[in-house]
């Protein structure tokens, strides 16, 4: 469990824990003892709660399931094209998935060249990230103009 968590910035999913042989009761017991810390529904930090944006971002991608990737402004920061901010984490998913505290974007048209793994986190490519941020600015801009 520790080796898996190390590769995922301290996080593991419930499915991964079950695959390692833990039961729901064993997971609940470790949560009560403080060995696992619930980060998002179905995602736990091992040993201590997440402290950095990187740890929270890795947990968000795990929480959004298979095919999910860090995206938009969060990906921009991970690529080093913007500074990290403590706020909403953006994740793009191929299916409809909604989680509190994560800004989920749905994209049916994600193709393999749009995705990378960077610093151990599945992430949209730099080109896709820039396009996503630009389209988000346009969407937000239109909403703001319509209110005035």
| pLDDT at residue number 82 | 87
Instruction: Please say if the pLDDT value at position 131 is more than 50.
Output: yes
| pLDDT at residue number 97 | 73
| pLDDT at residue number 141 | 52
Instruction: Please say if the pLDDT value at position 140 is more than 70.
Output: no
Which has the closest alpha carbon to 89: 67, 73, 66, 109? 73
* Alpha carbons 36 and 30: distance in angstroms, whole number: 5
| Banded pLDDT at 136 (limits 50, 70, 90) | confident
Instruction: Please say if the pLDDT value at position 111 is more than 50.
Output: yes
| Banded pLDDT at 145 (limits 50, 70, 90) | very low
Residues contacting residue 69 through CB under 8 Å, at least 6 positions apart = 61, 75, 91, 92, 110, 114, 115, 122, 123, 124
| pLDDT at residue number 146 | 35
| pLDDT at residue number 66 | 87
């Amino acid at each position: 469990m520790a080796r898996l968590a190390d590769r995922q910035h301290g996080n593991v999913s419930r499915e991964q824990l079950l695959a390692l042989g833990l039961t729901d009761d064993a997971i609940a017991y470790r949560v009560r003892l403080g060995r696992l810390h619930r980060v998002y529904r179905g995602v736990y930090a091992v040993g201590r709660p997440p402290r950095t944006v990187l740890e929270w971002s890795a947990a968000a991608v795990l929480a959004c399931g298979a095919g999910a990737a860090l995206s938009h402004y969060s990906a921009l920061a991970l690529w080093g094209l913007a500074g990290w901010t403590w706020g909403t984490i953006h994740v793009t998913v191929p299916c409809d998935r909604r989680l509190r505290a994560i800004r989920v974007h749905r994209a049916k048209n994600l193709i393999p060249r749009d995705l990378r793994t960077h610093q151990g986190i599945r992430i949209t490519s730099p080109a896709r990230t820039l396009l996503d941020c630009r389209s988000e600015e346009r969407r937000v801009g239109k909403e703001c103009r319509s209110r005035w």
